[in-house]
Amino acid sequence: MAFNRFTVQVAVRLILIAVTIFAAVWSYFKTEIIMSPLGFSVLTIAQMVMLFYFINKTREELLIFFKSFDNRDFNKAYNEFAWGQSKDELKVAFNNVLRTFKKLTLEREEQYQYLQMVNEHVSVGLISFRNDGRVDLLNSAAQNLLGIPTLGRIDQLENHKPAFWKALSFLQPGDRIVLSPDESKTKLAVVSRSFKLAEEDYTLISLQDISSELEEGEMDAWQKLIRVLTHEIMNSVTPVVSLTTAIKIIMQDEGGKLKSYPFDKGELEDVFKSIVAIEKRGQGLLGFVQAYRDYTKPPVPEIAKVNLFALINDTVQIIKSQLGPVQLNISPSIPEDAFIQVDEKLISQVLINLIKNAAEAMEGQSDAQIDINYREEPEHTCLEITDNGPGIPADIINEVFVPFFTTKKQGNGIGLSLSKQIMKAHKGDIMVESSAHGTTFELNLSA
């Protein structure tokens, strides 16, 4: 049966010391033999020395045990058996703790090796550095993407890629930008994150080559744009060609030469109408080209602190008279003291465009209604413009932000795409959801 050897030994020694002290006192007063109390006194002192030695030995064993943690040495083993087959519970506990820590150390080393292997085999470049600039992690993907050797400090990147380092030094935690490490066509999506580990602040930079994705996206965008341009130009050029052909026929004789005799009134009217139609189509095409030119000059926002409540109310007052019977509701949840950093004119332009689009989509609808709702999120201020119209067909909802795409007879197709540009210029975004019960455009503005 296992028992606490340390406790028993201390108890036995204390009992023996008490017995020898009692014997020394008793023999001093009850006997006349001088050697008896002297002998018991010497025996008492010896017992005390043995007790001190035993306790000190145990202290040294504890000290050695704890020092093994400082040295990360968990291979030591203690003899658990003493006094025959009885176990020393203290040494059993020592061995159990050492085995547990040895197991944890092995597991941690395995996890570290696993993470190292993942870091070296992923295609995403990773750079981790401390506040003082010391680099703790620079995987092979980051070295290959940037074409640099191992870095001891992050600012050493300036010696290899000055322009890239300049852009990186202004990057704030949470930012995402696209950079080129050199003059090549390589485009890297660079994302910055901050975290704390063992009371130390770190910055983690991830680098991902998105050149192929950008090329595919650019090709898709060009194809969509070419389709729209081709459609618009053909719509203008085709009737112009037809009308000029008709005028040519009217003004030619049977031999294909210009008629020498006067034209009759009907022919002159046909020529005049054709010229008027050509003029209108020419003006339409000219307006389209003008809109294209305006779109290729994205607006530069003049950021200022703006009261959101006042911005929405002022915009509604501007557009309300143009909505006719459409009911426009502003959510009461919009706080009167909410402020955002935006260009007031540009954001008002976006709101007007979305409200007008919603009203036009519900033209002739008796219960037409537009709601402006507000939602506050940790990193965004969200505005939702919702209508109860027929919704956007699923086959074209992905095209609504494409420049010059429109389903309106009198539209030029740049309203929503320009709104997208304005939101991007504010480091925000615009998204759309639609169903048969209505459409919602959501504006996300950075908080």
Span 81-87, average pLDDT: 56
Q: Could you tell me the pLDDT band of residue 440, with boundaries at 50, 70 and 90?
A: very high
Separation between Cα atoms, residue 339 and residue 312, nearest integer Å: 12
SS3 state at 234: helix
Average confidence (pLDDT) over 362-388: 87
Lowest model confidence (mean pLDDT) among 96-110, 158-172, 248-262, 423-437? 248-262
Mean model confidence pLDDT for the chain: 79
Residues pairing with 342 in the sheet: 304
pLDDT of residue 335: 85
Four-way CATH pick for 122-209: 3.60.20.10, 3.40.50.720, 3.40.50.10880, 3.30.450.20? 3.30.450.20
Q: Are 202 and 136 in contact (CB under 8 A)?
A: yes
pLDDT value for 42: 83
Q: Residue 372 pLDDT > 60, yes or no?
A: yes
What's the number of CA atoms in the CB half-sphere (13 Å) around residue 368?
A: 18
| 46-50, 112-116, 122-126, 371-375: range with highest mean pLDDT | 371-375
What number is the average pLDDT over the span 101-114? 77
Alpha-carbon distance 410 to 406, whole Å? 9
**202 three-class SS:** strand
Instruction: Decide if pLDDT at 260 tops 50.
Output: yes
Of 23-37, 195-209, 275-289, highest mean pLDDT: 195-209
Please report, in angstroms and rounded to a whole number, the separation of the first and last CA atoms in the chain.
69
Residue 147, C-beta contacts closer than 8 angstroms, at least 6 positions apart: 160, 181, 182
- In DSSP terms, 174 is beta-bridged to none
Least confident segment among 37-51, 134-148, 174-188: 174-188
**pLDDT at position 233 over 90:** no
Q: Give the pLDDT confidence of 327-358 residue by residue, as tens digits.
A: 888 888 888 888 888 888 888 888 988 998 88
Query: Which tokens is 365 given?
Result: 């609808």
pLDDT at residue number 147: 84
Strand residue runs (E) in 232-310: 304-307
Confirm if 354 and 415 have CB atoms less than 8 A apart.
no
- What are the φ/ψ torsions at residue 256 (nearest 5 degrees)? 85, 10
Q: Which residue has the tokens 């975004």?
A: 429
Residue 387 binned pLDDT confidence (cut-offs 50, 70, 90): very high
Q: Are 275 and 247 in contact (CB under 8 A)?
A: yes
- Which amino acid is present at 294? D
3-class state of residue 95 by DSSP: helix
Can you list the pairs that 440-443 forms with residues at least 24 positions away whose Cβ atoms lie under 8 Å? Answer: 440/384, 440/385, 440/386, 441/354, 441/358, 441/384, 441/385, 441/386, 442/382, 442/383, 442/384, 443/347, 443/350, 443/351, 443/382, 443/383, 443/384, 443/385
Q: Tell me the CATH class for 214-295.
A: mainly alpha
Q: What is the mean pLDDT of residues 392-399?
A: 83
pLDDT the model gives residue 167: 84
The alpha carbon torsion through 162, 168, 170, 172 (nearest 10 deg) reads -170
Write out the DSSP string of 318-352. HHHTTSTT-EEEE-TTS-TT-EEEE-HHHHHHHHH
The β-bridge partners of 439 are 387, 434
pLDDT of residue 441: 93
pLDDT over threshold 70, residue 225: no
Give the CA radius of gyration of the chain. Answer: 43
Q: What is the pTM of this model?
A: 0.45
* 110 vs 305, residue with greater confidence: 305
Residue 194 has pLDDT above 70, yes or no: yes
264-277 as b/e: b if 16+ CB within 10 A: eeeeeebbeebeee
CATH fourth-level superfamily of 304-446 = Histidine kinase-like ATPase, C-terminal domain (3.30.565.10)
Share of the chain above pLDDT 90, in %: 4
> Mean pLDDT across the stretch 122-131?
86
Q: Does 296 or 365 have the greater pLDDT score?
A: 365
Tokens of 23: 């014997």
Beta strands 188-197 and 81-82: pairing type? Answer: unpaired
d(CA 295, CA 287): 12
pLDDT band at 1 (very low <50, low <70, confident <90, very high): very low
Express each pLDDT in 12-64 by its tens digit. Answer: 888 888 888 888 788 877 776 766 778 878 888 888 888 888 788 777 777 77
Segment of 240-244, 371-375, 392-396 carrying the highest mean pLDDT: 371-375
User: In this structure, what are the phi and psi dihedrals at residue 58, rounded to the nearest 5 degrees?
Assistant: -65, -40
